[in-house]
Amino acid sequence: MIYNAGSYDVIVIGGGHAGCEAALASARMGCETLMITLSMENIANMPCNPSIGGPAKAQLVREMDALGGEMAINVDQSAIQMRVINTGKGPAVQAIRAQADKHEYHNKMLKTLLNQPRLKIVMAEAEEIETRGGAVSAIITRTGARFSCRAVVITSGTYLKGRIIIGEIAYDGGPGNQFPAIKLSDSLRRLGLQLGRFKTGTPPRIYRRSVDFSKMIEQPGDDLPLRFSYMSPRVTRTQHSCWLTHTTPATHKIVMDNLDRAPMFTGIITGIGPRYCPSFEDKVVHFAHKDSHQIFIEPEGRDTEEMYIQGLNTSLPEDVQVKVLKSIPGLENVAIIRTGYAIEYDYLPPAQLRSSLETRQVEGLFTAGQINGTSGYEEAAAQGLIAGINAALKIQDQEPLILKRSEAFIGVLIDDLVTGDIDEPYRLLTSRAEYRLLLRQDNADLRLTEKGRKIGLVDDERWRVYNEKKTRLEHDIGVLKKQTYTPADLDMSNFLESKDSADLKDRISLWELLRRPEIRIKDYTEMGWLNQEDEDILEQLEIQAKYEGYIKKQEEQVRRFEKMEGKLIPADIDYDEVFGLSNEARHKFKQIKPESIGQASRVFGISPADINVLLIYLEKKRRK
């Protein structure tokens, strides 16, 4: 019996990382919002490695933070270790990575959600998306509740027709042995959306006290006051170490001897898995020449006994998993808490989406996160944030927020999804960004806070902090550019000599001098030439001065690229009418429906001639 259970502006289905951001953004932007989740315990769950950040992902977290997202603050409060990855490889790729306390992360996020005005959570299985005139009108749950709404964000993760596989055993289930969401897939299909099947996996979890750490190498965190959010206080936290060990030839032999029982190879698993997160059995087979692989033992929390085994994703039978673990130095007496498993799930090939993450098929229906074929908490959260924002903007009758590839990693991520042929779970990489040097984790606030403010997600306090930083930064740049020295200046000569730096040839500003690798911004504050203590500002000054040449080069490229991005293709274009288009281009364009000439030119297999033909068609249309 279906009954009316209330009316909302936006309904978010799912409480994972995408769902949390979507729900918070929508509610904070003034929409009455409902989150429907299968289980309260799984809000902001980390069924894989409880780690956030790293190259490209840290940039995402910072970008979300600048826009008013929650992930950065939440991880800052629940991190048990933070490190900087890629130090010395340049500011564009430097990235914070945090190890979070899985339970604390969940608890903190749950609390934030529960305390958020205009947001309600209900535990239920969403079964049916009801539409009226091609637009969403309500969600109906398995138990008959009908929640009417004007927009829906589906963030179902790996739950859609989820199927767990461990060796010869397979059963329907969501991650961490939860219930799967079975009916929603069919509802999506009935709405004319296409679904595909992907696979991913996790390693076993073990008891801390069953590990012999004396046989492993300790990996401590950085004792620096690191933080993701621009709003978090700088604290030095107690660092919990990770531990490094490795597999042995004996481990590999166990795998090889049991391949006939490995679902990856027996054909039980048909979904496509990610290459960057292969199962251990895959690694052993494909890199047969390697007789050892790294294994990291990572705590899942501050007080928990549970340890995560990074490097050992597997769907081998449970008895084989035990043998494999025991062959690894330090794990001879291991006791397993959770068995590793593979999970297959339905995803929605994202070429069916607009850049706003709204499906082209159904008005008001947005999807975000793993359902869009991505992997990773950060990728999911970033999409959730954008989908939530755009659902709210839609209800407010405003233009969607679409970030450009040259503005944010979030823009790269979403543009890749909607224009690409995603044939494996998508993970963001810094190498996917054309303008990596502009999209740094250190300048995410400078890039995006104003946009966040405009849509109403950046609160007064964040806005004040941002403006203060910006003003001080501009002031200091002025100081460094104005202050110049000649070769005759004695103070300067002495300083240069002490730094083993060449004498001046001409008059030079402190800003220009900073380009020399051996000259650091801290030297200036020590010399009393610059009065600034804020670490963020000092870092920003140094990067902007040292990399000015490269940054300018990339900005120039962006200007050229933007011309093409600005040329929009009307949504109702009929590609059959475009005379002179090659068949391949016609087919691809119909499928992907690029929104701009820039997007069209990124579609794989499109020639410059096709783009020219399209330009001419649009011009002809315009003149009519």
Partner 1 sequence: MYDDIAAISTPPGEGGIAIIRLSGSGVIEKASKIFKPRRSEIDIRQKEGYSMTLGWIINAEGEAIDEVLLALMRAPRSYTGEDVVEIHCHGGILPARRCLETVMRQGVRIAEPGEFTRRAFLNGRLDASQAEAVIEIIRAKSDKSMQLALKQLGGRNSEYIHTLEDRLLELNAMVEGSLDFPEEVGELEYDRAEAIIRELIDIIEQLIRAGKRADVYREGITIVICGKPNVGKSSLLNTLVRKDRAIVTSIPGTTRDVIEEQIIIKGIPVWLMDTAGIHVTSDVVEKIGVEKSQEVIREADLVLFLLDAEEGITDDDLEIYRSIENQNLIILVNKEDLEEKNITSREINQHFPGLKVIKVSAKEEQGIEELEDSIEEMVLGGELQSDDLEIMINLRHREALLRAYQHLQDALQELDQVTLDCLGVDVWGALEALGEITGKNLREEVIDRMFQDFCIGK
Give contact residues for partner 1 (rule: CB under 8 A).
49, 55-56, 85-86, 88-93, 275-278, 283, 286-287, 290, 293-294, 296, 310-311, 313, 429-432, 436-437, 517, 547, 550, 553-554, 560, 563, 579-580, 604-605, 607-609, 612-613, 615-617, 619-620, 623-624
CB of 527 to partner 1, least distance (A): 25
Q: Which of 345, 423, 404, 357 lies closest to 384 in space, CA to CA?
A: 357
CB of 51 to partner 1, least distance (A): 9
Residue 491: enclosing H or E segment and its boundaries?
Answer: helix 490-498
* Alpha carbon distance 188, 604 (integer Å): 27
Is 92 or 473 the residue whose CB approaches partner 1 more closely? 92
Residue 226: alpha-carbon gap to chain centroid: 19
CB of 210 to partner 1, least distance (A): 21
Is 228 or 617 the residue whose CB approaches partner 1 more closely? 617
CB of 251 to partner 1, least distance (A): 14
CB of 493 to partner 1, least distance (A): 25
Is 68 or 271 the residue whose CB approaches partner 1 more closely? 271
Is 190 or 621 the residue whose CB approaches partner 1 more closely? 621
Provide CB contacts within 8 A for 427, sequence distance 6+: 274, 276, 277, 374, 375, 376, 379
Place of tokens 């062959």: 327
CB of 361 to partner 1, least distance (A): 27
Is 313 or 540 the residue whose CB approaches partner 1 more closely? 313
* Alpha carbon distance 324, 106 (integer Å): 31
* Alpha carbon distance 328, 325 (integer Å): 6
CB of 428 to partner 1, least distance (A): 9
CB of 35 to partner 1, least distance (A): 30
One-letter amino acid for residue 597 of the chain: I
CB of 560 to partner 1, least distance (A): 7
CB of 376 to partner 1, least distance (A): 11
DSSP 273: P
Provide CB contacts within 8 A for 507, sequence distance 6+: 484, 485, 486
* Alpha carbon distance 318, 325 (integer Å): 11
608: left (phi over 0), alpha (psi -120 to 50) or beta: alpha
CB of 209 to partner 1, least distance (A): 24
* Alpha carbon distance 309, 76 (integer Å): 23
* Alpha carbon distance 539, 182 (integer Å): 50
Pair 400, 452: CB distance under 8 Å: no
Is 195 or 615 the residue whose CB approaches partner 1 more closely? 615
* Alpha carbon distance 498, 34 (integer Å): 63
Q: Which of 325, 329, 309 lies closest to 317 in space, CA to CA?
A: 325
**Strand order, beta sheet including 242-246:** 217-219, 242-246, 294-299, 306-310, 205-207, 336-338
Pair 345, 163: CB distance under 8 Å: yes
Is 92 or 166 the residue whose CB approaches partner 1 more closely? 92
Q: Which of 435, 415, 413 lies closest to 426 in space, CA to CA?
A: 413
Is 86 or 137 the residue whose CB approaches partner 1 more closely? 86
The vertex-460 CA angle with 458 and 465, nearest 5°, equals: 90
